[in-house]
Amino acid sequence: MALLNVLCYPDSRLHKVAKPVAQVDARIKKIVADMADTMYEAPGVGLAATQVDIHERIVVIDISEEQNELRVFINPEIIWSSPEKKAWREGCLSVPEFYDEVERPAQVRVRALDVDGKEFEVDADGLLAVCLQHELDHLQGKVFVEYLSILKRTRISQKLKKRAKELAGER
């Protein structure tokens, strides 16, 4: 088991755009396993590779209550979004202790490769739809706070910078 360091907003590396995975090989499988360990340890319901400073299109999600249904999405793409929208209160491991409402399409269809490199599609609604859109945004270098007002974003950014300093013992 290996835990990866999760980047914290407003780290500029969170805004890098991830590249597609060329081949699902042993290296990618190791990244997936480490990302899953990191997500479960946090604990969180989703993690994008961007958040652990790996800029390749890899996402892990587990929205199950028991945290025993790992879903892996390699090179995921949203191939359909519903015109209907829904607002959810979102949080993010890269934005600790902040939650706010974001409106997104209520349903999406995503095409991706699984951990064996096999293509699949999933029709998602509810929390899974929110999670997929949130994590795919990360791969594009977008953090959910960017949907909020500049005022809110600035406040979050200031508080997290202060928190990071405190954690580093530089008060």
Which residues have a catalytic role annotated? 135
Q: How far is the CB of 59 from Ni ion (least distance, A)?
A: 10
Q: How far is the CB of 131 from Ni ion (least distance, A)?
A: 9
Residue 110 vs 117, nearer CB to Ni ion = 110
Please choose, from the candidates 94, 82, 99, the residue with its C-alpha nearest in 3D space to the C-alpha of residue 133: 82
- The residues of the shown chain that bind Ni ion, judged by CB under 5 A, are 92
Q: Are 17 and 139 in contact (CB under 8 A)?
A: yes
Beta strands in 30-158 (DSSP E): 46-48, 58-61, 71-81, 85-90, 100-105, 108-113, 119-124
Residue 92 vs 139, nearer CB to Ni ion = 92
DSSP at 91: -
Residue 92 vs 113, nearer CB to Ni ion = 92
Residue 28 vs 132, nearer CB to Ni ion = 132
HSE toward the beta carbon, residue 76, CA cutoff 13 A: 31
Residue 49, judged by CB atoms within 10 A of its CB (0-12, 13-18, 19+), counts as buried
C-beta nearest to Ni ion: residue: 92
Burial 122-157 (b: 16+ CB within 10 A, else e): eebeeebbbbbbbbbbbbebbbbbebbeeeebeebe
Q: How far is the CB of 167 from Ni ion (least distance, A)?
A: 19
Q: How far is the CB of 94 from Ni ion (least distance, A)?
A: 5
